[in-house]
Amino acid sequence: MRLTLTQGQPLSMVGMDKRSSAKAAGSRKPYDGHGGDGERTGRGDGTTRRFTIRHDGVVIPVSRGGQGRLMVLCPGLNSTQADLHELAGLLRRDHDVVTFDLRGHGLASGADRYSFEAFLSDLAAVMGELGRVEPDAAPVLVGYSLGADLAVHYAAEHPGAVAWLVLIDGANPVPEPFVTEAVLPELRAMWEDMAMRQEAQRGTARQVLLTAQEILDLNIEIDEVRSGILDRYREIDRPISMIVSTSMAGDGAEGHALRLNQNWRAGAERLVRERPGVTVFRLDADHRLVFTRAPEIARIIRSARDLVGRATA
């Protein structure tokens, strides 16, 4: 049995769509877009605009394009806005979509610390810049994996700052932690292999600068965050839609994959019991769903938008 689990990018996605030719190893210089910090972030007009946000000693690259309601797409651990390109492109057909990279990911600069709070500050910096430019345009906030957890915490801490939350295979109040002594050796080996493979992406839009130990430490921290995330949900008064994979850890019928998948499903069921207003969509896929099932996810988001629109009318 081979696990495909990581709370961010599955192991089987380590080599995902690695079409970009690898450049010399080492951290890429911060991306300054077309016009750098001075580029304005106006309403979507069908073109893609790029700009950067500097905060907390890091440089966050942001892309914006499409037409329609403002939407922010937050990536997860070990995933980048380049990885989410297909989903973002589909959503841009009828949304003004903003994507960005978290510190140490993609074209963002590295940092001397990687923690849940540090990543949350990256999302807050992006949301803050959008709010500064367009104070009356509360966006739809979409988060994948860790990005979903960040979205829940941001919405709880900033009442009224978002119009609607879409959570893709993350922010799940699972009853048991994922990182346990029983599965730790396999997870550690998986993330060491991941970190080694990620070396080939240095200098590209898909680079990840985190070490295997940093990935492990973050997953342990995410477990702790999710143990109390129901309290965060209770602080949110906006519509919430969740898209959940049916086989988060792969399709193994026994062993660790079976336990992890049962735990994931139990978390979603627990959320619905605690927050009956949350709409849950289940997709027959593993944690790679944003990469392998982007068209279905885009359709789900549109159908959920229609439901939310009717409910709030």
Q: What is the pLDDT of residues 242-284, one digit of tens each?
A: 999 999 998 866 678 899 999 999 999 999 999 999 999 999 9
What is the C-alpha to C-alpha distance for residues 97 and 116, in angstroms, rounded to an integer? 24
Q: Is residue 197 part of a domain?
A: no
Q: Name the band, by pLDDT with cuts 50, 70 and 90, for residue 313.
A: low
> What is the reported pLDDT for 15?
27
The stretch 283-287 carries a mean pLDDT of 96
CATH number of the structural domain spanning residue 74: 3.40.50.1820
Q: Is residue 287 part of a domain?
A: yes
Pairing of strands 95-100, 58-66: antiparallel
> What is the reported pLDDT for 307?
79
Joined together, the tokens standing for residue 5 give: 């689990």
Nearest to residue 119, comparing CAs of 98, 101, 96?
101
Q: Name the band, by pLDDT with cuts 50, 70 and 90, for residue 296.
A: very high
Joined together, the tokens standing for residue 101 give: 């990279």
- Sequential DSSP letters for 172-184: ---SS-S--TTTH
Q: Name the band, by pLDDT with cuts 50, 70 and 90, for residue 311.
A: low
The stretch 123-143 carries a mean pLDDT of 96
| pLDDT tens digit sequence for 135-189 | 998 999 999 999 999 999 999 999 999 999 999 999 999 999 999 999 999 899 9
Q: Is residue 4 part of a domain?
A: no
φ/ψ of 279, rounded to 5, equals -95, 125
What is the C-alpha to C-alpha distance for residues 262 and 201, in angstroms, rounded to an integer? 33
Distances (CA, A) of 309 to 270, 282, 304: 25, 21, 8
Q: Is residue 280 part of a domain?
A: yes
Q: Is residue 57 part of a domain?
A: yes
Dihedral of the CA atoms 237, 300, 8, 164 (nearest 10)? -20
What is the C-alpha to C-alpha distance for residues 242 and 271, in angstroms, rounded to an integer? 10
Q: Is residue 34 part of a domain?
A: no
Joined together, the tokens standing for residue 127 give: 């949301």
Nearest to residue 192, comparing CAs of 221, 216, 166, 170?
216
Q: Is residue 148 part of a domain?
A: yes
What is the C-alpha to C-alpha distance for residues 191 and 6, in angstroms, rounded to an integer? 8
Average pLDDT value over all residues in the chain: 86
Q: Is the pLDDT of residue 40 over 80?
A: no
Number of domains in the chain: 1
Burial of 6-15, coded b for 16+ CB within 10 Å and e otherwise, reads bbbbbbbbbe
Joined together, the tokens standing for residue 2 give: 């081979």
> What is the reported pLDDT for 104?
98
> What is the reported pLDDT for 29?
38
* Domain that residue 69 falls in: 46-178+224-312
Strands (E), 10-57: 49-55
Distances (CA, A) of 190 to 17, 64, 80, 146, 178: 19, 34, 19, 18, 14
